[in-house]
């Protein structure tokens, strides 16, 4: 199955309306700004149907992003994006820089009647590391309401960060090593799930077949 998601106007930093190319049932997986299961910028623990391909296009004043995501296996999905950032810059279309990103999203536990789904993922693990980050997330559908919460590392480490809980197993998780490679098309320095972390959360409410309100 092929899905196309277009985002032309960002309503606000926290509220998002999504319009899919076909009618959806109550538990259809929503696609975030990074092309994989998510609310807005943050991921959910859901998975796409096996073999589904998702094409995304975002056009904002300071961002142009095209992407393709593919659910390669029942529990593993991949995404590729090409983004142009900023305005009034010296690169093509007045952007400040352009960047390619590769992501992987892995389902660890499928959602059940009483239990949430759990997944982990790595963003931008090849190349310059502009979006370099990792996450562990859980999510649950309750009727038309979709709840999610998780831990974010790297770029997903926001304000009010906390000590890395994995530090109790190995001191290497306490501090995040910088990405010193920064070359396009190469594996970033392996600093996954290292450094301080932040909690995140969000919810979405499906108003109808083609419209969902989300906050994170």
- Per-residue pLDDT at 185: 54
What local confidence, expressed as pLDDT, does residue 125 receive? Answer: 86
Amino acid 152: pLDDT: 96
Report residues of the chain scoring pLDDT below 70: 1, 3-27, 127, 179-189
Do residues 17 and 212 make contact, with C-beta atoms less than 8 angstroms apart? yes
Q: What pLDDT is recorded for position 187? A: 66
Chain centroid to CA 32: 6
The string of pLDDT tens digits covering residues 59-106 is 889 999 999 999 999 999 999 999 999 999 999 989 999 989 999 999
Integer angstrom CA distances of residue 45 from 27, 127, 150? 13, 25, 9
Tell me, what's the pLDDT at 126?
A: 80
Q: What is the pLDDT of residue 210?
A: 79
pTM for the full predicted model: 0.83
Q: Identify the pLDDT of residue 20.
A: 42
Q: According to the model, what pLDDT value does residue 145 have?
A: 94
pLDDT value, residue 128? 73
Q: How many alpha carbons fall within 13 Å on the CB side of residue 151?
A: 16
Which residues make Cβ contacts (< 8 Å) with residue 197, sequence separation at least 6? Answer: 151, 152, 153, 157, 161, 162, 163, 164, 165
The answer to whether the Cα torsion of 19, 21, 27, 33 is positive or negative is: negative
Token reading at 47: 């998975």
């Amino acid at each position: 199955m092929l899905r196309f998601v277009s985002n032309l106007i960002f309503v606000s930093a926290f509220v998002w309306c999504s319009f899919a190319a076909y009618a959806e049932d109550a538990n259809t997986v929503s696609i975030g700004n990074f092309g994989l299961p998510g609310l807005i910028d943050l991921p959910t623990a859901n998975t796409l149907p096996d073999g589904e391909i998702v094409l995304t296009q975002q056009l904002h004043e300071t961002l142009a992003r095209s992407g393709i995501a593919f659910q390669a296996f029942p529990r593993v999905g991949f995404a590729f994006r090409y983004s142009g950032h900023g305005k009034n810059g010296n690169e093509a279309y007045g952007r400040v820089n352009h960047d390619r990103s590769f992501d992987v999203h892995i389902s660890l536990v499928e959602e059940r009647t009483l239990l949430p789904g759990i997944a982990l993922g790595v963003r931008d693990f090849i190349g310059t590391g502009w979006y370099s980050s990792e996450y562990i997330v859980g999510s649950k559908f309750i009727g038309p309401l979709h709840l999610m919460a998780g831990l974010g590392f790297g770029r997903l480490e926001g304000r009010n960060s906390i000590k890395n809980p994995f530090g109790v197993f190995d001191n290497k998780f306490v501090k995040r090593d910088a990405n010193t490679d920064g070359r396009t098309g190469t594996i970033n320095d392996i600093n996954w799930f290292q450094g301080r972390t932040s909690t995140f959360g969000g919810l979405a409410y499906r108003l109808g077949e083609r419209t969902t309100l989300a906050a994170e």
